[in-house]
Structure 1
Amino acid sequence: MTNIFVDAIMPDDERRQKLYEGALFLYSPTPSLDGLVAFARELIEEAFHPYDPRTAQFELPVERYVEILVRLKPFFIHHARSKELVQGALRELGCDPELTYFDVPRLRSATSDDYLTTGIAFAFHPHRDTWYSAPPCQLNWWLPVYDIAPDNGLAFHPRYFDEAIKNGSRNYNYYEWNRTSRASAAQHIKTDTRVQPKPEQEIALDPQIRVIAPSGGVTIFSGSHLHSSVPNTSGVTRFSIDFRTVHFADVSGRRGAVNVDSESTGTNLRDFLRVTDLARLPEEVVAPYDQDGAPRDHLIYQPTIVPLATGGLAADAAQASA
């Protein structure tokens, strides 16, 4: 049974334990979450100007669409304002800022009708984040930028929370992903050949849970939950934001959800930043999560940030003709 808590008021220690047991938590927008969505919308709408970003896919060749996302997503993800708003949201929702660590908020896009489902707009198959070198104590926070519908959101497959699935995580190493695959996302337009852990057996997608939250409303779930992108047939692009958190005591104490089937290597824990001051987790706490023989380079991904062009597509066109 999967319990779903809506706007629950409880100590964070108790909430984390319930999340590790498979519960879902939904919260209405807070001031900082509203601010995060507003900031994302500002950048998205500027980047796609003069088109409505939710329908721009029907106006642009896919290669041009990818060019826009290549600038837009890293600019939002690594912007100081994005981090500040996540820090505020975590405080507003009862996390201890001295003990809670977060990673940078990702901006995601899921286009409609199979326009673009690879690379920088990857449509996620059913997966657990633990297959991608996440620790058992990782919690995921997911919120839509614009209102969503049942046919363009996120799906959970609760049957498999504590049921092992044969999967390809044994081939996934986080540091190798940092070294060879993260920067190449924009090159994968028609197909995506990067190593992405997937189920290697037939799985039942139903019953499933689809959470339909308002823009800025956040869903919190364990990184061990099997979840997927709902195939988008809505006629509009879905934009969403997600970030992840870990608690210092759970990292150091090796607590979290039970690992039923992940064999990935490396760890993403060095990506996490403390809410109070953006300090990283101490190396002596992270090192036990490395397996013997793990490479010692590309432990943290270093992105390339390209400034956005003021005026969006119109400014790009003017610059190209100058």
Structure 2
Amino acid sequence: MTSVFSNSPLEDDARRARLFKGEIFTFSATAATTELITFARELIEEAFGGRDPETAQHEMPVEEFAGLLAELKPRFIHHERCKEILPKIFEEVGMSPQQTYFDVPRLRTSTADHYLDSGISYAYHAHRDCWYSAPFCQVNWWIPVYAVVPENVMAFHPRYFDRPVANGSARYDYGEWNRVGRPTAARHVHSDTREQPKPEEPLDLLPEIRIVPEPGGIIMFSGAQLHSTVPNTSGRTRYSIDFRTVHIDDVRTGRGAPNVDADCTGTTLGDFMRATDLERIPEEARVL
């Protein structure tokens, strides 16, 4: 059984222990998450130049929309302001900035009615981040930028948290993805031919859990949790921010969720930066 904790007062160590067992945590918008989505909205609305970003897909050729996202998303991802705001969020929910490492926050889009499901706006099939070389101590964060509805959020499939799924992770190498797969995302407009780990057996994904937070609200879950993009039938493009954290003690001790079916190579740990000074995780601590 998976439980969803709302605004839980649990300390971070106890919270991570529950996350690693498949529980999910949600938090209301905070001062810092509001600052983050406000900044994201500024960049988004500037990029769309007067169009409503949530309905612009109905006015633009898909190639133009994809090209706009190809410029917008890296601008947000690598902006120094994001690196300044995230440590504030960690402190607000009781995490130690000295022991917390994070990767860059990514601006995600989910367009309606299969307008753009590939490449720069990839609609994720059911997957675990651990199929993509994520560490098993990884905690995922998801924050909506604008209001969301059940028809355009994520779905969690908790029955598979500790149940193996046949998948293609054995063919995935993180180093190769960074060299070849990620840089070509914007080219995949009408279909996506990049090799990505997917389920290779029929799955019964129901019942599922859909959580609908307010703008700036937080969903926190384990990178080992099976989750997917809900087919967007809302008529509006969904904008969200996600990023990932690890606690250095978990990295060093190997504490985390169980590996039930991941067989990929490489590790994303080299992407994580310490919240206090942006130093990378020491090479010797990057446990595979």
> What's the TM-score once normalised by structure 2's chain length?
0.99
State the match for 1:153 in structure 2. Answer: 153
For residues 144 and 282 of structure 2, the distance between their equivalents in structure 1, rounded to whole angstroms, comes to 32
For residues 91 and 265 of structure 2, the distance between their equivalents in structure 1, rounded to whole angstroms, comes to 32
State the match for 1:307 in structure 2. Answer: none
1:142-291 to 2 correspondence within 5 Å?
A: 142-286=142-286, 288-289=287-288
State the match for 2:38 in structure 1. Answer: 38
Deviations 1:259-299 (A, max 9, x none): 0000010000000000111110001111x42xxxxxxxxxx
1:44-83 to 2 correspondence within 5 Å?
A: 44-83=44-83
For residues 144 and 220 of structure 2, the distance between their equivalents in structure 1, rounded to whole angstroms, comes to 13
For residues 196 and 222 of structure 2, the distance between their equivalents in structure 1, rounded to whole angstroms, comes to 19
The AA in structure 2 aligned to 1:278 is L
State the match for 1:299 in structure 2. Answer: none
For residues 166 and 53 of structure 1, the distance between their equivalents in structure 2, rounded to whole angstroms, comes to 38
Please state whether the residue corresponding to 1:71 is helix, strand or coil.
helix
State the match for 1:84 in structure 2. Answer: 84
The runs of at least 4 aligned residues of structure 1 exceeding 3 Å deviation read: none
State the match for 1:2 in structure 2. Answer: 2
Please state whether the residue corresponding to 1:46 is helix, strand or coil.
helix
Please state whether the residue corresponding to 2:244 is helix, strand or coil.
strand
The AA in structure 2 aligned to 1:45 is E
For residues 87 and 67 of structure 1, the distance between their equivalents in structure 2, rounded to whole angstroms, comes to 31
The AA in structure 1 aligned to 2:146 is Y
Q: Return the offset for 1:10.
A: 1.4
Q: Tell me the matched-pair count.
A: 288
For residues 203 and 62 of structure 1, the distance between their equivalents in structure 2, rounded to whole angstroms, comes to 31
For residues 83 and 23 of structure 2, the distance between their equivalents in structure 1, rounded to whole angstroms, comes to 26
The AA in structure 1 aligned to 2:283 is E
Identity value in percent = 56
For residues 133 and 49 of structure 2, the distance between their equivalents in structure 1, rounded to whole angstroms, comes to 37
Pairing 1:126–2:126 present: yes
For residues 55 and 205 of structure 2, the distance between their equivalents in structure 1, rounded to whole angstroms, comes to 28
Please state whether the residue corresponding to 2:243 is helix, strand or coil.
strand
For residues 165 and 21 of structure 1, the distance between their equivalents in structure 2, rounded to whole angstroms, comes to 17
Q: Return the offset for 1:80.
A: 0.5
For residues 199 and 8 of structure 2, the distance between their equivalents in structure 1, rounded to whole angstroms, comes to 33
For residues 95 and 278 of structure 1, the distance between their equivalents in structure 2, rounded to whole angstroms, comes to 16
State the match for 1:318 in structure 2. Answer: none
For residues 59 and 3 of structure 2, the distance between their equivalents in structure 1, rounded to whole angstroms, comes to 42
Gaps of 5+ in 2: none
Q: Return the offset for 1:36.
A: 0.4
State the match for 1:308 in structure 2. Answer: none
Please state whether the residue corresponding to 1:151 is helix, strand or coil.
helix
For residues 269 and 79 of structure 2, the distance between their equivalents in structure 1, rounded to whole angstroms, comes to 20
The AA in structure 1 aligned to 2:272 is F
Deviations 1:18-52 (A, max 9, x none): 00000000000111100000000010011011210
Q: Radius of gyration: which is bigger?
A: 1
The AA in structure 2 aligned to 1:272 is F
For residues 87 and 117 of structure 1, the distance between their equivalents in structure 2, rounded to whole angstroms, comes to 32
Q: Return the offset for 1:87.
A: 1.2
Please state whether the residue corresponding to 1:204 is helix, strand or coil.
coil
For residues 32 and 12 of structure 2, the distance between their equivalents in structure 1, rounded to whole angstroms, comes to 18
Deviations 1:175-221 (A, max 9, x none): 00001011100000111011110000000110000001000000000
Please state whether the residue corresponding to 1:210 is helix, strand or coil.
coil
Gaps of 5+ in 1: 290-322
Q: Return the offset for 1:117.
A: 0.1
For residues 181 and 156 of structure 1, the distance between their equivalents in structure 2, rounded to whole angstroms, comes to 25
> What's the TM-score once normalised by structure 1's chain length?
0.89
